[in-house]
Amino acid sequence: MRPNLQKIYPEVEEAYFVERENRFVLQLKNKQGTIFNAYVANPGRMEEFLVPGHPFFITKNNEGKYPFHVVSTFYQDSYILLDTIKINRIVEEMLKEKRIPAFRDLKLIRREVTVGRSKFDFLLETGGKKPVLLEVKSCSLCHNGVAMFPDAPTGRGKRHMEDLDLLATVGYDTYMLYWIGHKNAQVFMPNGHTDPGYCLSFCKTKHVHFLAYRVHMTDPITLDLPGLEEIPIDYEQSKSMCRDMGSYILVYYNEKEFTHTIGSLGERRFERGYYVYVGSALRGLEKRVSRHLRKQKKQHWHLDYISPGRMKMIKSYAIRRQDRIEEKLAHRLLGICDDYVRGFGSSDSGAPSHFFFFKERPYRHRRFLDLLLDYRHIQTI
């Protein structure tokens, strides 16, 4: 192996996604068809990977209750390291080898240091007068070259950022480093679609130095160390995601078939299965989505006759953009759904419906996830 390549596990085998048991356990199937559970040291949602048959790479686990440990996955032509514990160890090695320009005058490294109310990944001593606090965030979400963090709401991550900003005023240099596991990442931004609070704190931060680095894996267990490369952060687009406006996709589960009158639409039959609703709110996006969960409300929109009560909302996806894209979303959903409720939610739309039926969970459907991520990660569609 070339000296600049680092093999981070001795061996690996390929397995395929079946189900997610909980935050830290995936149910996988090997090439022989055996189904088993494997530990994954990544608490994120990772929804873009959780499609039946999606590949994961595992190694034998000699500790804990599960015989295998998830190492990495493959997405959009790139291997992605998923072991967040291993990532911090690799960052420490890269700091020691002076591969990150901001810390090339490094003199001392301390791991997991508590300052104030937070524990940070690194306390560094450099040639500067101030000690340096460095927090590392592992970013596995990258679609069409746009990397985003977090992929699930993170109160802890928000607190880290706010504390770093405060500590920078009392004698520290503070840094947040986003480790992006996708070799094709071209730009980074906070994920205001999923965690608007984190995005808002990111944009309000005055004193923290933000760094975004992409990493190249040559295979499921090997890092190309010279492939570490800094990529730009899109601050302007980040600010636009702080606005409480955009479109939304709601996923409902209907336990049993029923027929119901939907206002002026008249009587409609709803099969057992999953339904996806598309809407928009160019003002008050969060309030609009919350309204659909309220029991006491005036029946104004078609969805008010269904939600809540008739069906259970199980997922909601915000797409924070200034342009109105709900009709575009509806037309793309028409191409992947099993059926739709004609006229539902589409009174002022060119689409025949904004309420779509799926026999199986849509969020385990590759084309549904591509639709969502395309509109979240590409701002010019």
For residue 38, the domain's CATH number is: 2.40.50.580
Q: Is the pLDDT of residue 379 over 60?
A: no
Q: Judge if 231 and 332 occupy the same domain.
A: no
Four-residue CA torsion sign, 141, 146, 149, 150: negative
Range with the poorest average pLDDT among 5-14, 78-87, 297-306, 351-360: 297-306
Q: Does 13 share its domain with 124?
A: no
pLDDT score recorded for residue 308: 86
In the block, tokens 């952060």 appear at: 233
Average pLDDT, the chain: 92
312 and 269 inside one domain: yes
Strand 267-270 to strand 355-358: parallel, antiparallel, or no bridges (unpaired)?
Answer: unpaired
Same domain, 69 and 131: no
> End of a domain among 184, 207, 240?
240
Cα–Cα distance, 280 to 348 (Å, whole number): 12
Residues 71-90 have pLDDT tens digits of 999 999 999 999 988 999 99
Q: Which domain holds residue 48?
A: 5-75
> What is the structure's pLDDT at 118?
93
Q: Are 88 and 136 in contact (CB under 8 A)?
A: yes
Same domain, 139 and 252: no
286 and 217 share a domain?
A: no
207 with 314, same domain? Answer: no
Q: Torsions phi, psi of 274, nearest 5?
A: -115, 145
Q: Which two tokens stand for residue 338?
A: 């099993």
Query: Is the pLDDT confidence value at 350 over 50?
Result: yes
Q: Is the same domain home to 295 and 220? A: no
Whichever domain contains 188, its CATH number is 3.40.1350.60
Q: How confident is the model at residue 3, as a pLDDT? A: 61
Among 75, 101, 131, which residue terminates a domain? 75
Report the C-alpha gap between 279 and 356 in whole angstroms. Answer: 12
The pLDDT tens digits for 143-199 are 999 999 999 999 999 999 999 999 999 999 999 999 999 999 999 999 999 999 999
Q: What is the pLDDT of residues 27-55, one digit of tens each?
A: 999 999 999 999 998 888 999 999 999 99
Averaged pLDDT for residues 306-314: 90
In order of 77, 92, 98, 193, the CA distances from 228 in angstroms are 17, 14, 12, 27
Domain termination residue (choose one: 223, 240, 257): 240
Question: What whole-number distance in Å separates Cα of residue 320 and Cα of residue 16?
Answer: 32
**Are both 52 and 99 inside the same structural domain?**
no
Task: Say if residue 232's pLDDT is above 50.
Answer: yes
Higher pLDDT, 2 or 187: 187
Q: Which two tokens stand for residue 196?
A: 């608007």
Residues 189 and 286 grouped into a single domain = no
* pLDDT per position as a tens digit, 277-295: 999 998 899 999 988 888 8
| Peptide bond just before 190 cis, omega within 30 deg | no
Give which of 142, 141, 16 is closest to 70, Cα–Cα.
16
Q: What are phi and psi of 146, to 5 degrees?
A: -105, 115
| Number of separate domains in the chain | 3
User: What is the structure's pLDDT at 380?
Assistant: 43
pLDDT at 255 over 90: yes
User: Which residue has 């005055």 as its token pair?
Assistant: 206
Question: Do 293 and 309 touch, CB atoms closer than 8 A?
Answer: no
Same domain for 190 and 336, yes or no, is no
pLDDT bucket at 2, cuts 50 / 70 / 90: low
Q: pLDDT confidence of 381, banded at 50, 70, 90?
A: very low
**Rounded to an integer, what distance in angstroms lies between the CA atom of residue 283 and that of residue 302?**
20
The mean pLDDT of 249-265, rounded to a whole number, is 94
Side chain identity, residue 139:
C
Residues 50 and 110 in one domain: no
